[in-house]
Amino acid sequence: MKRRDAGISELIDEFLLIGLLLAIAIIILGIFFGFFGFLQKSAYVVPDFSLKNVSGRPVIAVFHRAGDPVYFTNTTNNSFQAGFFMDTVKGTYPVKTAPSLSSFVPGQTVYIYYTGSGFAAATNLSGITFSSLPSGILNLRLVDLNTHVLIAQMNATAGAGGITTTATTAATTVPTPASYAISVSWTPKGVGANALGTISPPGTNDATVNVLTGTSQTFTFTPAAGSRVRFIRVDGVQVSSGGTVGQVLTYTLTNVQSAHTVSANFG
């Protein structure tokens, strides 16, 4: 029994081997005569679609952000041939490219416009007469013509006067930022030629400066000739012991969140 089983097993192995060889031969012959082909790689393009207003009429701008270059004319076996197609409520239209537009490469922008009876593409619309996009749903497709694979597409809706977009935005009112009054004064109280110094802004004694909430304000303390800043106080607290004769000092209130008083003594 063991010998008979061994013989049957060997016979099955021979049949399997013969079948495998026949299958390989059929595949080779099929490839040779063109019955089988290898799967072609489709073009890879990363486009940005947007709606532009040119000469008062809407057009579709397609920017080639990254990927493979594609060609709108007959290409070699190593290049990708592609085409734009526009689907509308009335049918599908191949987009006719301008004679100068033979390729679409990274960094390039192509404009799709309506001729009145169909669609065309160009890289520059200067001197071209075109119409507003037709009303209804528009579906722009970029198709690999070698593999018939969809590369990318954009959907939009056009109204009678051109492209319209539907968006919901909440009406918001931007409040006027609050501000705080900074009271400024200095002593002695002299003004003009009698002043021993000034604070700027405001440059006027016993005045105020309005500062927006959260912002900062820098004050400049300028002594008169022969005088100096003796001290600077904010809200009654001394923040500077002054400077030398003729020395100009500054002080900055940062992140103002309340009213303050700024004062100085000159002498």
190, 142: one domain: no
The predicted model gives 201-218 an average pLDDT of: 89
189, 98: one domain: no
Q: Domain for residue 248, yes or no?
A: yes
Spell out the SS3 assignment of 191-227: CHHHCCEEEECCCCCCEEEEEECCCCEEEEEEECCCC
Q: How confident is the model at residue 148 (pLDDT cuts 50, 70, 90)?
A: confident
Q: Domain for residue 115, yes or no?
A: yes
From 93, 128, 163, give the residue that closes a domain.
163
Distance CA 112, CA 186 (A): 69
Rounded to two decimals, the pTM is: 0.47
**DSSP state at residue 250:** E
Q: Domain for residue 185, yes or no?
A: yes
Structure token digits, residue 123: 């890289």
For the chain, give the percent of residues with pLDDT over 70. 82
From 100, 133, 163, give the residue that closes a domain.
163
| pLDDT 10s digits, 153-178 | 888 776 544 444 433 334 444 445 57
Q: Domain for residue 27, yes or no?
A: no
192, 244: one domain: yes
Q: Domain for residue 49, yes or no?
A: yes
Has residue 202 got a pLDDT over 80? yes
146, 210: one domain: no
* Count of the separate structural domains present in the chain: 2
- The CATH number covering residue 87 comes to 2.60.40
For the chain, give the percent of residues with pLDDT over 90. 37
Helices (H), the chain: 2-32
158, 183: one domain: no
Q: Which domain holds residue 224?
A: 179-266
User: Are 70 and 47 a contacting pair, CB within 8 Å?
Assistant: no
The predicted model gives 214-242 an average pLDDT of: 93
From 139, 163, 187, give the residue that closes a domain.
163
Has residue 213 got a pLDDT over 50? yes
94, 196: one domain: no
